[in-house]
Amino acid sequence: MTTTLFISDLHLSDNTPEIEAGLYALLEREHGMDRLYILGDFFEYWIGDDDDAPLNRRVIARLKAVSDSGTAVFVVRGNRDLALGDVFAHQIGAQLLGDTTVIDLNGTPALILHGDTLCTDDVEYQKMRVVLHDPSWQAEMLQRPLSERREFAQGLRAASKAKAENDPDNIIDVNDDAVAASFSEHKVGLMIHGHTHRPNRHRTEGGERLVLGDWSANESWIIRSTDSGCQLEHYRY
């Protein structure tokens, strides 16, 4: 039986030791899985592959052990860790994927993505996303000292948190038309993503959409795909 796991939105940082421990427990429990997909916001922020902070070194070592054991690892960048690059991917033995990728999931074509591109009602965020994903802007930012990049990332996170607390719920969730357009554009009937922190299984005319939840100090979310289908699983620890 082929086993594929999907995770996202761990928001790993120095302030999340319980989540870090939960990740390592998952990797140990699921040792031998065939594929692992990380669908963005794995880190609270990522300021460049040259940041060798202790947390980064620990996580890289654990993921490298997973890939060395024979598990294929794939990474989709999120809005928090969009600076994840080729060096990081090489260090953990993973493949970096684009914003949207159609994969073969036990014979079923499935669209995987972080999910922020579906939240088109948040016009302010989408405008900022264009800037942050501009290759020239990223190249210039990565030339700055680590301390300056870290300060910028922390300021961006503080502003994002304040905005989320004031925005209506529908603004930070997916737009139904954007979801329908994605199903149609990619010609799939299954979509898997994170970002919204609203774990659920949605069935629409376009297809089925599975949404991962964000991890906390005492709970985690994964999607497990086997020959029997896909399941959204919730763990408390």
The model's pLDDT over 8-43, given as tens digits with 9 standing for 90+, comes to 999 999 999 999 999 999 999 999 999 999 999 999
Q: Is the pLDDT of residue 46 over 80?
A: yes
pTM of the prediction?
Answer: 0.96
What total number of domains does the chain contain?
1
Q: Is the pLDDT of residue 170 over 70?
A: no
Sequence-ordered list of residues with C-beta below 8 angstroms from that of 103, at least 6 positions apart, any chain: 37, 109, 110, 112
The domain of 193 spans 4-236
Residue pLDDT, tens place only, 51-91: 999 999 999 999 999 999 999 999 999 999 999 999 999 99
* 140 token code pair: 């210039």
- Average pLDDT in the 114-126 region? 95
CATH, residue 118: 3.60.21.10
Give dist(CA 213, CA 228) in Å, integer: 22
Which residues does residue 203 pair with via DSSP β-bridges, in sequence order? 208
Question: To the nearest whole number, what is the mean pLDDT of the chain?
Answer: 95
Q: Is the pLDDT of residue 169 over 80?
A: no
Count the neighbouring beta carbons within 10 Å of the beta carbon of residue 208: 17
Closest by alpha carbon to 207, among 235, 234, 186, 228?
186
- Average pLDDT in the 151-172 region? 81
**% pLDDT > 70, the chain:** 98
